[in-house]
Copies of this chain bind each other. A is one copy, B any other.
Amino acid sequence: MSAAGEDRFHDLQRAAVRFRDERDWAQFHHPKDLALGLQVEAAELAELFLWKTNEEARQALEEPAFRGRLAEEMADVQMFLLYLAEAAGLHLPDAVEAKLETNARKYPVEKARGTARKYTDL
């Protein structure tokens, strides 16, 4: 993979770390708390869809106010992921590529096509 191609992930992680260090927050960033915080943010994201049918969600996604809140919650989740990657010394893009390969084995196209079943039930 080219160094150029990694810039955006890498740049964001550095920007998030700089934000953290300016505030002297590394002392709070235990991996367990980062994992807990990520889950809290994921719940705030999911709450945006609570009580909505899929059709109502589709309509909400056309409203700028809703899109703005969604973007903020997604950014919060992404930032906790970046902080956790930093704390654990893991490389997120490589982890995603490896997982896509694992999932390709768990969900072979011919078996998984068109079904939402878990791989254990294929």
Interface residues of A (CB under 8 A from B): 1-2, 4-9, 11-12, 15-16, 19, 22-25, 27-28, 30-33, 35-40, 42-54, 57-58, 61, 67, 70-72, 74-79, 81-82, 84-85, 88-90, 92-93, 95-100, 102-104, 107, 109, 112-114, 116
Contacts and interface: CB of A to CB of B under 8 A. Distances in A.
A64 to B, nearest CB: 12
Protomer copies: 4
Contacts of A72: 95, 98-99, 102
Main DSSP-derived SS at the A contact region: helix
Contacts of A28: 51, 116
A57 B32 contact: yes
26 contacts: A1-B8, A6-B7, A6-B8, A7-B8, A8-B93, A9-B9, A19-B100, A23-B112, A23-B113, A25-B112, A28-B51, A35-B45, A35-B46, A37-B51, A38-B45, A38-B46, A39-B39, A39-B46, A40-B43, A40-B50, A43-B44, A67-B90, A71-B90, A74-B81, A74-B92, A78-B96
Contacts of A90: 67, 70-71, 74
